[in-house]
């Protein structure tokens, strides 16, 4: 899939994995529309080729409006990378009682249903574009997590939501094949995002020490590199790629 002279939608695009991916796509000649919440956009880096749009992935109408803006930008919408997500932790039964049921629903709503909403509404627009000589129209990359496979204590909600994204990958690829739209998923391990910048150096070192090789935290630009590789490689479809340095998470 050619990246130059296309439009791309990146959710969670104001920071972390999304910001790195938006910048990498823009550097390759894509007109990138980075979707995020307004407070995040206020602190987002200014990158040539990246336009920030306020949108909440749990609000279908705001997603629809943002996707239509990208689709009407003058170049075909070809690329979607879903990076928006949240990750609060709580045990099913803890000292304070049972897991907050509303919190569980919110995590699934943002991470899983939000991903599906963007995928579906973007696919609707991509399907209207002219295919290339091979019938290709676009590619959607979703973000899961190694927690989808190795969920730790306190990650019941987060792992459920990310496991849902893994389970979505193949049927979505099969559903959208007739429109020339590929669907893949990246499952990152422990990535050095702004969230980890708030913890101590000792804690970060302990996290890195548990990774077989390379024994360090992953970088957002490495996620972006993998996303662009998936976009470039036209025969990758319906697959989940772990990016974790061979990490297998312990129970806690």
**Is 39 part of any domain?**
yes
What one-character-per-residue DSSP string does the chain give? ---TT-EEEEETTTSHHHHHHHHHHHHTT-EEEEEE-HHHHHT----TTEEEEE--TT-HHHHHHHHHHHHTSSS-EEEEEE-------B-SEETTEE--HHHHHHHHIIIIIHHHHHHHHHHHHHTTSPP-TTS--EEEEEE--THHHHPPTTBHHHHHHHHHHHHHHHHHHHHHGGGTEEEEEEEE-SB--TTGGGS-HHHHHHHHHT-SSS-S-B-HHHHHHHHHHHHH-TT--S-EEEESTT------
The number of folded domains in the chain is: 1
**Is 247 part of any domain?**
no
Confidence tier at 239 by pLDDT (50, 70, 90): very high
**Is 202 part of any domain?**
no
Query: Would you state the structure tokens that stand for residue 128, as one six-digit string?
Result: 């209207």
**Is 149 part of any domain?**
yes
Q: What mean pLDDT is reported for the chain?
A: 95
pTM (2 decimals)?
Answer: 0.95
**Is 213 part of any domain?**
no
User: pLDDT tens digits, residue range 208-221?
Assistant: 899 999 999 999 99
- Catalytic residue at 52? no
**Is 2 part of any domain?**
no
**What CATH number is given to the structural domain containing 62?**
3.40.50.720
**Is 54 part of any domain?**
yes
What is the per-residue pLDDT for 127?
Answer: 98
What is the per-residue pLDDT for 198?
Answer: 65
Among 42-56, 88-102, 190-204, the minimum mean pLDDT is found in 190-204
Q: What length does the chain have? A: 252
Out of 52, 104, 158, 235, which one is annotated catalytic? Answer: 158
Considering the chain, what percentage of its residues have pLDDT values greater than 90? Answer: 90
What is the per-residue pLDDT for 178?
Answer: 97
**Is 212 part of any domain?**
no
User: pLDDT tens digits, residue range 147-193?
Assistant: 999 999 999 999 999 999 999 999 999 999 999 999 999 999 999 98
Residue 90 has pLDDT above 70, yes or no: yes
d(CA 82, CA 137): 18
What is the per-residue pLDDT for 185?
Answer: 98
Task: Give the mean model confidence (pLDDT) for residues 132-161.
Answer: 96
Confidence tier at 52 by pLDDT (50, 70, 90): very high
Task: Give the mean model confidence (pLDDT) for residues 33-48.
Answer: 96
Confidence tier at 199 by pLDDT (50, 70, 90): low
What is the per-residue pLDDT for 204?
Answer: 77
d(CA 73, CA 68): 9
Residue 6 has pLDDT above 90, yes or no: yes
Q: In terms of residue numbers, what domain contains 77?
A: 7-192+220-242
């Amino acid at each position: 899939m050619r990246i130059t002279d296309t439009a791309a939608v990146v959710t969670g695009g104001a920071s972390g994995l999304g910001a790195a991916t938006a910048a990498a796509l823009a550097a390759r000649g894509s007109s990138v529309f980075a979707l995020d919440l307004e407070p995040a956009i206020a602190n987002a880096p200014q990158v040539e080729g990246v336009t920030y749009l306020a949108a909440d992935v749990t609000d279908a109408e705001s997603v629809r409006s943002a996707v239509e803006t990208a689709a009407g930008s003058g170049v075909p919408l070809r690329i979607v990378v879903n990076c928006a997500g949240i990750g609060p932790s709580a045990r099913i039964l803890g000292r304070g009682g049972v897991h907050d049921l509303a919190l569980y629903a919110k995590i699934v709503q943002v991470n899983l249903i939000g991903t599906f909403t963007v995928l579906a509404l973007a696919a609707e627009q991509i399907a209207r574009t002219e295919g290339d000589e091979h019938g290709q129209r676009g590619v959607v990359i979703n973000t899961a997590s190694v927690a989808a496979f190795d969920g730790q204590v306190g990650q019941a909600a987060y792992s459920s939501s990310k496991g849902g994204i893994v389970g979505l990958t193949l049927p979505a690829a099969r559903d959208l094949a007739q429109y020339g739209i590929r669907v893949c998923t990246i499952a990152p391990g422990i990535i050095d995002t702004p969230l980890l910048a708030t913890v101590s150096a000792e804690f970060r070192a302990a996290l890195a020490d548990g990774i077989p090789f390379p024994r360090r935290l992953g970088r957002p630009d490495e996620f972006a590199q993998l996303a662009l590789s998936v976009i470039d490689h036209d025969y990758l479809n319906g697959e989940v790629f772990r990016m974790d340095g061979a990490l297998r998470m312990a129970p806690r």
